[in-house]
Amino acid sequence: MNNKHIGSSFDNFLKEEGIYEQVNNSAIKEVLVYMISEEMKEKNLTKTQLAKMIGTSRSSLDRLLNPENHSITLLTIEKIANIFGKKVKISFA
């Protein structure tokens, strides 16, 4: 029973399968959507209210909050962070 993945990391497995970046991007977007959703709950904001605050439509906000849709700009993230009194921190690890 020779399994080439025994002892390797999950990241290495994903890289070998050619899906590392896709999986990583999906995970980042899901975390971002979760954080925004939690802040909305805490501030008791509806999607319509948040959309108005960032100067977009409700349907655009729905796309932004869809974990499957990976298009989001840094400007939009910063606008949302500012509304919640937060700062955006980016690092290369």
For the chain, how many structural domains are there in total? Answer: 1
Tell me the helices (H) and strands (E) count for the chain, helix number first. Answer: 5, 0
Look at residue 2 and tell me if it is in a domain. Answer: no
pLDDT digit string, tens, across residues 43-81: 999 999 999 999 999 999 999 999 889 888 999 999 999
User: Which pLDDT does position 93 carry in this prediction?
Assistant: 80
Look at residue 4 and tell me if it is in a domain. Answer: no
Look at residue 77 and tell me if it is in a domain. Answer: yes
Look at residue 91 and tell me if it is in a domain. Answer: no
Look at residue 89 and tell me if it is in a domain. Answer: no
CATH number at residue 34: 1.10.260.40
CA atoms of 10 and 15, how far apart (whole Å):
9
| 27 CB burial (10 A radius; 0-12, 13-18, 19+) | exposed
Look at residue 42 and tell me if it is in a domain. Answer: yes
Percentage of residues in the chain having pLDDT higher than 70: 92
Q: 43: domain range?
A: 10-83
User: Which pLDDT does position 33 carry in this prediction?
Assistant: 95
